[in-house]
Amino acid sequence: MTKNIHIEHPEDSILTGDLSVLDAFLLPLLLSLKIDGSPSIVWGRNPATGLQFVGTKSVFNKNKILICETPSDIEKHYAHKPALLQILMACMAYLPITKNIYQGDFIGFGGAKNYRPNTLTYKFPEIVKEEIIIAPHTKYFAVNDLRDAIAMPLVDKLENSRVKFIQPTAWVHDDEEGRTDAFHELCTEVEYIQNMATAVKFVDEKTAKKIKINLNYLIREGLEVNPADFDDAGNYGSSNLIELWCAVNELKLRALDYCRDNADFETCVMGDPEPIQGEGYVMISRFGYFKLVDRREFSYNNFSNSNRKFATA
């Protein structure tokens, strides 16, 4: 279990010298399909009041907390965002009453077969008859206050006649042994990268943030990541560090080749009619959460999608 924190890319997580993700690949883990919905919805019982609530990730804010327990609360906080207000009103009306706290991505309102809540389009085999579509992924435990909520992977399947909950099962498919609980085929690559790391000078958190900005810029512009360029960029890491980053990125792409799921819908990128495997997967381990995403294929489209809007009726 962990605090509600950002899910990191494996290659970004090693910049400060934390190599635990390498062990995570080889130890027992949970895998879930990453769904590209918008916005992120949090709902359940508020431990501070005992009342049901809905909201966005802002329910976890330390200062400006936006928790909606009534329709009036939604109007108060989101009148200036009519699309989000509409979504939260529907969530309050249709999400089932629960003693738990859940988080998931909003996909859209019922009545259609194809949905594009963000960059990806999801094509269902039949018209969705439920009122709303949610892809739940996280369950929280909080005793007194949502600000102290602890996140854990959602392993239970949610069901409701008014809500279509999307929760495909995902797993690691080993070439020789079939369905497994770890990426056993990556042992050699992991050992190689661990040996590489012994010659690398790592950076602090502040510098790591600068490096990530530069890396995201290169990905956004469709440019190659050249480790040698970082030697000439001042205090932005060394070529050895970026070579390690590239090696972990390749390891992640190899891991993606072993990922499988049983989603009953097709996934397409923006206007491309050819289905893809999906945005990627979330790897849940004792060392934390890591997202397995092909940044060249998905993040570039995500960065380039300047017309991102919430799915509306």
Tokens 């009036």 belong to 72
Most confident region among 77-81, 177-181, 278-282 by mean pLDDT? 77-81
Question: What is the amino acid identity at position 37?
Answer: G
Task: Please provide the distance, in angstroms rounded to a whole number, between the alpha carbons at the two ends of the chain.
Answer: 36
- Supply the pLDDT for residue 235: 62
309 pLDDT exceeds 50? no
Tokens 């970004």 belong to 12
5 pLDDT exceeds 70? no
pLDDT per residue as tens digits for the range 161-181: 999 999 999 999 976 667 889
- Supply the pLDDT for residue 178: 79
User: 268: part of which helix (H) or strand (E)?
Assistant: strand 266-269
Predicted TM-score (pTM) of the model is 0.86
Work out the percent of the chain whose per-residue pLDDT is above 90.
Answer: 75
209 pLDDT exceeds 60? yes
The pair of three-digit structure tokens given for residue 274, joined into one six-digit string:
């050819």
Residue 114 near residue 127, CB atoms below 8 Å: no
Query: 34: Cβ–Cβ under 8 A, 6 or more apart, which residues?
Result: 278, 279, 280, 281, 282, 291, 292, 293
pLDDT per residue as tens digits for the range 181-204: 999 999 999 999 999 999 999 999
